Chains A and B, each alone.
Chain A
């Protein structure tokens, strides 16, 4: 990816807080990233690290209350999505930015036909009439590899398998040729062979349609296979970010290094048992004032408990938010 290209999506300083009965939960803390045209950005992190909340905050999809997007800027096509009118936001949702959710079993409305649900955004955003929308919906179902597409438009979601439903979700997300596709763990709820098919499908669609993709997953193996760039999240922050090869080949953050050791290797020698990262991810009751990972970190030293590290570029578009330098096994300069 050429570094100079104008990003399609530019997120700066995003902060999201949940107001709950037990106090505030700071789920997203000053997250900044950008997405360049046609690029596939992988997002990894443990459960609860704030991946979904970050992406939903971008599009105002979190229920408020309890969610409160406190600060930040989300620039898409020259508009700040956090400050624009509801009307403009709705015209971006589904048209400029498509969304695929984790659970295809519950993400479709059970009482409407699949055809109706695909046609809805087409009629709203593209101003198509019924016949045009139906034709396009059929093309979309064919595009995502559903056999007998014309017939299946009349079927209800419960008549599709999980994998097929996720294909329908992809068809809906792609209906209006979005510039950006956000896929939030699109394969987690599916079994392994179906997962592989869906990943293959997205890879194919990406070369065909050329949209930029944000792909959230727990699976570093998937990231290694399809992503251009990867972003590692922890405690609602981005702790490391860079091109896939560099981040996975030369991980800088102890958390990324730990994540990599948890990936079981199929080909290599079997370890006695699966590696795990000790401890629990934090639930942040306040904005972080120390490194969120320091109490689980094998490399932590006193500074980590006093100060929250900022992201430091380490060259080649790679940056990390850590005081420790794996090259010297000591404190990083700066």
Chain B
């Protein structure tokens, strides 16, 4: 098992390198110059100096090498310093945003909590409603519950989140005034009242994302449970006199979760993508909003870094899915 994980991590490294290369060069090809962010009133030679100091005149492979080194070495050291108060990374140049002239990772560290609270909660809630719905829909296939589930799932993943988001805003904040339509990132949860406020401002974005995620996961769960209900071992369990509860929640559930857990793990990185839109709609100042802002501002280091972080997440969760698969299914052997 351990060797399997190590080997998988080792094989992931070349993959990630290749991805980083592609991302860096593709983004680098984008038109526009960091100079456009410098006010026109700045004299030409000063402008040249600034550009020089930003390193934009170096050949692209030099910049790639530097960026990669910063990404895998300098920035993790900085994070370490940040958490433990050490000074390992002192004096090393960090990845600097064209936009703010401050380290890209400072911004990311700032933005992560917003994204995690909204998206993390949404995904968890999505899973928690999707699994029971999937199980019950399969158990009572073609019942009205199942039909309703099918209908909502279809609506759920065919209607884009920017539409449901705006719709919910129109109904619940504009018409009814129950929830705020804009997410206040500066809100700090200190007491019961601010907690309620936080919960209220999270309600709409979380609902939108949770419904979207629940729609597809509940479908996967349903088909997986249906698949397993027809298996011979279910008949054996019934022939042993097991209650329907044990049959469904013991025997069938455990088997049905095997493929669904993979889907859930693999879905985690992609919800960041979906969140980009939701964050825009609800003005959540998270990573997605940071990426969009950086693209608008031609902030290449920010775009490259964020995109590569998403890519790393995808590769990581792939690995996690594989490991979970093996834990749930005893037939899988790590060789």
Contact = CB atoms under 8 A, between A and B. Distances in A.
Nearest to A56: B235
A200 to B, nearest CB: 23
B255 A109 contact: yes
Interface in B288-335: 328-331
Contact of B240 (A103, A110, A172): A172
B241 to A, nearest CB: 4
B235 A61 contact: yes
Nearest to B142: A65
A184 B331 CA distance: 27
Given A106-B231, A106-B233, A109-B251, A120 B240 contact: yes
A257 B232 CA distance: 34
A299 to B, nearest CB: 39
How large, as a class, is the contact surface on chain A?
A: 20 to 34
A90 B231 CA distance: 19
Contacts of A120: 237, 240, 242, 246
B233 A110 contact: yes
Interface stretch (A38-46, A92-100, A223-231, A232-240): A92-100
B238 A172 contact: no
A160 interface: no
A81 to B, nearest CB: 12
A19 interface: no
Given A91-B241, A125-B241, A156-B331, A110 B255 contact: yes
Contacts of B329: 110-111
Contacts of B251: 109, 112
Contacts, number: 73
B144 to A, nearest CB: 16
Contact of A111 (B240, B242, B243, B328): B328
A98 B237 CA distance: 11
Contact of B243 (A59, A90, A106): A90
Contacts of B258: 111
B254 interface: yes
A124 interface: yes
Contacts of B246: 120
Interface string B221-261: 00000000001110111111111001000010011001000
A108 B330 contact: no
A169 B236 contact: yes
Nearest to B240: A94
A93 B239 contact: yes
A132 interface: no
Interface in A37-65: 59, 61
B239 A111 contact: no
Interface in B45-61: none
A72 interface: no
B232 A90 contact: no
Contacts of B233: 106-110
Contact of B232 (A92, A103, A173): A103
A159 to B, nearest CB: 9
A101 interface: yes
B239 A61 contact: yes
Given A90-B243, A93-B239, A111-B255, A106 B331 contact: no
A206 interface: no
Contacts of B237: 109, 120
A90 B247 CA distance: 12
A136 interface: no
Nearest to A109: B233
Given A101-B232, A103-B232, A110 B331 contact: yes
Contacts of A103: 232
A90 B236 contact: no
Nearest to A124: B241
Contacts of B331: 110, 156, 158
Interface string B197-233: 0000000000000000000000000000000000111
Given A90-B242, A108-B233, 6 more contacts: A59-B239, A94-B240, A101-B235, A107-B233, A110-B330, A111-B255
12 contacts: A61-B235, A90-B243, A92-B241, A103-B232, A107-B235, A108-B236, A109-B255, A110-B331, A111-B254, A112-B251, A120-B237, A125-B241
